[in-house]
Amino acid sequence: MSASTEVSATERLVCAAARLMKGRSSVFIGTGIPMLAAALAKRLYAPQLLPIFEFGGVGADLKRLPLGVGESRTFEGAYTAQGITEVMESAQRGLVKDGFLGGAQIDPYGNLNTTVIGDHDRPKVRLPGSGGGNDVGAFCWRTIVLMKHEKKRFVPKVDFVTTPGYPGGPGGRERVGLPEETGPYRVVTNLGLFDFPPQTRRMRLIALFPGGTVEAVRAETGFPLDTAAELDTVAPPSDEELRLLRDVIDPERNYL
């Protein structure tokens, strides 16, 4: 393993996310942290994982980390090279189980913003936009959100709904014409793990990292946070996970 043994927030987040990709599954992968998690999962937890990239790479081996969802390495070792319309159609037809997304903002009901901070027409910051994020969040069976946990990101109301969660709570997806079986499944951050129980469809803390506290999570959350009656513990990154991330998957530190 690399000389540095201090575990970063990104490494904790990536390792926790990779463990959710067990088994033989199809996963829509976004740029950055989702790529790290998928590459780690294929090496340790899910060798038959089928990564799907927005611009058409299906089943890449991820032996070299892509630098973007349309980069050539998303096609290396792939089963097929399709186009963006074909992979989005696959999600619409129910053929993609999980979608891994990030965001600049998330609200209690899992709505994501990757469009603007501030007013849409006169924003403080203009972000990259949806890309395939709206499609992933709308049509994959489960959406898993990967974000660093900061109060400025976990907000009562997103400035713009780029990707729908559960708008307004239970029944919100059906009201806007989306399949009720789909939607946010987990939020994974460097502070803990969260779900969206059917009774409320509000984000709920279900697990903490060792040494973490509910108070610390709430201090970095900009809305009242529900918590499970009994909280689990997220195992910290193992030596093998860290070795693979630092020395094999991303030695150039493009994302770590």
Instruction: Supply the residues annotated as catalytic.
Output: 54
On whether the CB atoms of residues 178 and 12 are closer than 8 A, the answer is: no
On whether the CB atoms of residues 109 and 168 are closer than 8 A, the answer is: yes
Q: Which residue has the tokens 């074909």?
A: 86
- In a 13 Å sphere around the CA of 74, the CA atoms on its Cβ side amount to 25
Beta 80-81 vs 57-58: how paired, if at all?
A: antiparallel
DSSP 8-state class, residue 154: B
Q: Is 162 helix (H, G, I), strand (E, B) or coil?
A: coil
User: What are φ and ψ of residue 188, in 5° steps?
Assistant: -115, 125
On whether the CB atoms of residues 12 and 190 are closer than 8 A, the answer is: yes
- Going by C-beta distance under 8 Å and a sequence separation of 6 or more, which residues neighbour residue 84? 54, 55, 56, 132
- Residue 149 burial by CB count (10 A; 0-12/13-18/19+): exposed, middle or buried? buried
